[in-house]
Amino acid sequence: MLLKFYLVVLVVITVSVNASAQVYESIEKAAAHYFINLSNKSSDAGDDLIKLRNLLFQSYDKFEFESKYQTSIIQFDSLKNHFNQYELSIKNISSDSASVLFNQWYLHLSNTFYSYADKKFFSSNKTKLLFFSASLSCQCTLEMCKKQTIEILNLAKEKNLDYWIVDSFEHNELQIKYETYFAPSLVLLDENNNLLHKTEFDEEMLIKLSQFLSNKI
């Protein structure tokens, strides 16, 4: 009986450690999955949204959260409040309209964990996609950014590529570094962060990227 008790405690501790160790990764993965299914008008989108909510509203240790993820609980609470507003807003609108609103929330997620994601992205030893979106611009640019964000998420999943969606309105330092001064724009990097391919403000961005990847392989 005592052995069973210790096993239960060990399982609880292990689950807690894993949840704490992968907060950003778990939330971003769930958000991307929901975004894809929402855009495809999949019936699974509702379940994906519940999963995302459960991840967001778990209890996290404040000190560990802020020290590891280089953000504050106040910023994270703002992200959660935005999520609550999103859930209220989508009750009587189409999935297309919901995807516009969720794109804004997704960029809020990116901004909240920007410093942590920056370090994680550039330490990856895989080929990776850096995509510059924008949370504030003209309507046509916002629509193009949303559309190509979804395409990037699908391609990254299909090709098993690392990716990072950056809100260039809030963070433009990497745009300056790679000389991509328009949004949306895309930078493809190798495992050593060397530039392989770059495209900006192009409706056929993903077609050209797919062709490049096919030729590269």
Number of domains in the chain: 2
Q: What is the mean pLDDT of residues 64-89?
A: 96
Reported pTM:
0.89
Cα Rg of the chain (Å, integer): 19
Q: How many CB atoms lie within 10 A of CB 43?
A: 8
Q: Do residues 103 and 143 both lie within one domain?
A: no
Q: What is the mean pLDDT of residues 193-211?
A: 93
The whole domain housing 128 covers 124-217
Give every CB contact of residue 153 below 8 A, 6+ residues apart in sequence: 32, 35, 36, 163, 165
pLDDT band at 150 (very low <50, low <70, confident <90, very high): very high
Query: Which of 99, 120, 141 marks a domain boundary?
Result: 120
Query: Which of 66, 100, 120 marks a domain boundary?
Result: 120
Separation CA 27–CA 55 (nearest Å): 6
Q: Do residues 71 and 32 both lie within one domain?
A: yes
Q: Do residues 29 and 80 both lie within one domain?
A: yes
Q: Do residues 26 and 38 both lie within one domain?
A: yes
Q: How many CB atoms lie within 10 A of CB 31?
A: 24
Contact 180, 66 (CB under 8 A): no
